[in-house]
Amino acid sequence: MNHQNPHDGRGEFTLAVVRLPAAAGKPYRGPLFLNFGGPGVTSVQSLLYQYDWSAPPNFPGYDLVTWNTRAVGATLPAIQCYPSEEVRSESRKLRFGETPIQSNLSIAILDADHKLLESACKQKHADLIPFVGTVSTARDMLHMSNVYGFSPQLTYM
């Protein structure tokens, strides 16, 4: 969990990872790590559901590697900050544009929703939050590259 002190007794994250091998017939160029962004986006689902399996590969010679970042999707432990699935669903509609923001009141509601969510997360998952974010994502990528025996030079998109 903690890259700077991996044996501190806090446990570890188990990342959900998908690796699609490079198509045959092209010189092998190594892995291309794909992070579909977020926060909270499950990159594994994004790749598996959006990849056009019938088309020629967009990145010839590369293995496509993606993972769910810490606390997202099938990566464990998960962080769930919403008190219920219903509240999460309504919040997502507001945050991702399914509920139109039509006034300053809508923006204030969205801002209040974010502040409540942040507060709930900090209280519920105070032990995990310090190990979730950009720094951990970058270090996890390097760790995956090393574990799979790839070159120390990372190709990322």
| 63 and 10 co-located in one domain | yes
| 84 and 38 co-located in one domain | no
| 73 and 90 co-located in one domain | no
Token pair recorded at residue 134? 């950009």
Q: For the chain, what is the domain count?
A: 2
| 1 and 58 co-located in one domain | yes
| 85 and 156 co-located in one domain | no
pLDDT of residue 105: 64
| 115 and 141 co-located in one domain | no
Long-range contacts of 86-89 (CB under 8 A, 24+ apart): none
Domain that holds residue 35: 1-79+131-157
| 59 and 19 co-located in one domain | yes
| 62 and 90 co-located in one domain | no
Kind and range of the H or E run holding 116: helix 104-124
User: Do residues 77 and 69 lie in contact, with contact meaning Cβ atoms separated by under 8 Å?
Assistant: no
pLDDT of residue 154: 80
- In the chain, the percentage of residues whose pLDDT exceeds 70 is 85
pLDDT tens for residues 27-69? 988 888 988 876 667 888 888 887 776 666 678 888 889 998 8
- Rounded CA-CA distance 116/108 in Å is 12
| 20 and 85 co-located in one domain | no
Residue 127: pLDDT over 80 = yes
- In the chain, the percentage of residues whose pLDDT exceeds 90 is 1
